[in-house]
Chain A
Amino acid sequence: MASRPWRKRLGKVGTYLIWIILSGFTLLPIYWLFVVSARSRVELFGGPSLLQTSFFAENYLKPLSSPTFQGYLINSLIIATSNALLVVICAVCATYALSRYRLKGDQSIFFWTITNRMAPPAVFLLPLFLLYAKVIRIGGWSLFDTHIGIILVYCVFNLPFAIWLLKGIVDGIPVELDEAALVDGANRLTVIVRIIVPLAAPSIAIAGILSWIFAWNEYLFAATLTSVNARTVTTGLAEFVTVVGTNWGQMAAVAFIAILPGLLFLSLVQRYIVTGLTFGAVKE
């Protein structure tokens, strides 16, 4: 490789140039979202200047102080957190079973679990809506517009993903460790809690975080399967766009609040999340 030094330098400058332009392309819409959320109506229609010096806090304070939006926020928190917990607990148990026992048809069970992840939501919306709202009824109670209903639905997407993510990790933990503990009189549950969970902790955390983000971000099912009691932030965001007019500043503020947890998680555990996000395609 006898490349001349100026060529190398040019390549380097080119690389930086491309990445700076690209980062601008990535950040600009998000930056603009923030700018809109910081502007009053008058400022907004005064012209699309990209510079922002003032901060119109009312856009944030108004939704944050409204009981309806507070309810949405709390619902989103409850749903995302419970879903992540449920997914992690079920996935750890399931991967352990799939990895340590010779169960009849365990290969096809694993494969079937994964195919659930690929389901197009549009196909499941209608039957789930009908099942939740009209078919499964116990007295006056139905799963429609309940937290548990939505939490279960998100398992269709998150559980297969978590099992996929954890399977390789649990397979990699030596069986000898289990056996030693079992000889010492521990039962299977103790083995899982004391040996598997600590050793697989980073991956379990990624599975939990990504499940949390998915549940927090989801819109279509939340919009269809809830009406009042279990509405989430994303559905609240969509409700801003109405026929009578949209309060763009407030909408931007709510959108910004909605994307904040994801951005926060990404910057905190960046490397792991990137690994986890792409794990579906790359098995290491």
Chain B
Amino acid sequence: MKSTRTGWGLLAPTLIILAFVGVLPFLYVFYIGFFDWTMFAAKTGLVFAGVNNYRRLVFDNDFLAALARTVQFAAWAVVSELILGFLLAQLLLRNFRGRSIFRTIHALPLVVAPIAVGATWRLFTIPGFGPLPYYLDKWFGFDYNISRYPSHAFATILLMDIWHWTPFVTLTLLAGLTALPREPFEQALVDGANRLQVFRYLTLPMIQPILLTTVFIRIMDALRIVDEVWMLTGGGPGTSNRYVGLHIWLIVFPKTDYGYGAAMSLLTLYFTIVLSWLLFIAIAQAGRQTTA
């Protein structure tokens, strides 16, 4: 009896902090989503608006476009990083001299601040003195300009994200692959299975839990990208690369349209949860079919 009290006492600081900065904001954003609250309106303060904010949102083309763009970006980024990361993890499984040095270099981008990643890539790709546009033009005559062509900006953001986050996939999968038992693989080779069969019927089912968690974390992270894009192109050229997090940030704060912003934030959260959940189920199902 007395000892449970001590337990709760030890847990209390964590619970209080998380309730204050985790739960309270969530409840609050839910609450103000039902109100009109604009700093520049004739009537300042909270005015009850029912579901008006949400109704407005469904017809807000800018917001919906930002959402669609985000999904497109996340799909490209996560799929490329998964394939690359898996191949690199396979390469790191082999024993060769200098392996740990290459692994450390590979892991470097993980500790770089996202905003500094954006700054780094901006300097690298900036028209004028960046080496990438300069050499692309000099060697291939290719007119690469991220502040003029939306597709170039998109490709660069994708490349930047791959640069930043592939190491995460590589290292998690490497940890998973290293932990696998050896016997089934040796057995399969004795039985004359080829590499593709080993991959499909042994490796894939066995690393499935880790693969799932990795995919899940990467999707959630890719959907909320802001800093890097903000620093690289500011969401541009124009609004062509404004992903949903950046869109909310750029719309809500300058306009101080808080009620509407709250609705936007909540819909984004809802969308993120539903999307990752659906993907999670889909992948798990595909995995089960592989195992069967």
A54-62, A63-71, A198-206, A211-219: which lies at the interface:
A211-219
**Shortest distance in angstroms between B253's beta carbon and chain A's nearest beta carbon?**
7
* Contact, CB under 8 Å: A237 / B224: no
Q: Does the CB pair A219–B114 fall under 8 Å?
A: yes
Q: Which A residues are CB-close (under 8 A) to B69?
A: none
A234 touches B115 (CB 8 A): yes
- Nearest A-chain residue to B271, judged by Cβ: A120
Evaluate contact between B32 and A90: CB separation under 8 angstroms. Answer: no
* Set of chain B residues within 8 Å of A219, measured between Cβ atoms: 113-115, 227
Contact A18 B124 (CB under 8 A): no
B10 in contact with A97 (CB, 8 Å): yes
Determine whether the beta carbon of A130 is less than 8 Å from that of B168: no
- In the assembled complex, the Cα of A98 lies from the Cα of B173 at a distance in Å of 29
Judge whether A278 is part of the interface by a CB distance below 8 angstroms: yes
Is A3 close to B, CB under 8 A?
no
As a 0/1 sequence over residues 267 to 280 of chain B, the CB contacts with chain A under 8 angstroms (1 = contact) are: 01100100000000
Is there contact, CB below 8 Å, between B131 and A159? no
A253-284 interface code vs B (CB 8 A; 1 in, 0 out): 00100110011011100110111011011101
With a cutoff of 8 Å between Cβ atoms, the chain A residues found around residue B119 in the complex are 33, 237, 251-252, 255
Q: How far is the CA of A18 from the CA of B106 in the complex (A)?
A: 12
Chain A residues near B144 (CB, 8 Å)? none
| Interchain CA distance A127-B130 in the complex, whole Å | 39
Contacting residues, chain A, for B268 (C-beta < 8 A):
120, 122-123
Q: Is the CB of A32 within 8 A of B124?
A: yes
State the majority secondary structure of interface residues on A.
helix
When distances are taken between beta carbons in the complex, the residues of chain A under 8 Å from B192 are none
Q: A28-B124, A130-B32 are in contact. Are A163 and B14 (CB under 8 A)?
A: yes
Inter-subunit contact B14/A113 (CB<8 Å): yes
Q: Are B28 and A131 in contact (CB under 8 A)?
A: yes
Nearest CB on B from A69, distance (A): 15
CA separation between A102 and B11, bound complex, in Å? 12
A168 at the binding interface (Cβ < 8 Å) = no
Give the A-binding residues of B (Cβ under 8 A).
3-4, 6-11, 13-15, 17-18, 20-22, 24-26, 28-29, 32, 88, 91, 94, 96, 98, 100, 102-116, 119-121, 123-124, 126, 128-131, 134-135, 163, 168, 171-172, 175-176, 179, 189, 210, 213-214, 217, 220, 223-224, 226-227, 230-231, 234, 244-245, 248-249, 252-253, 258, 261-262, 265-266, 268-269, 272
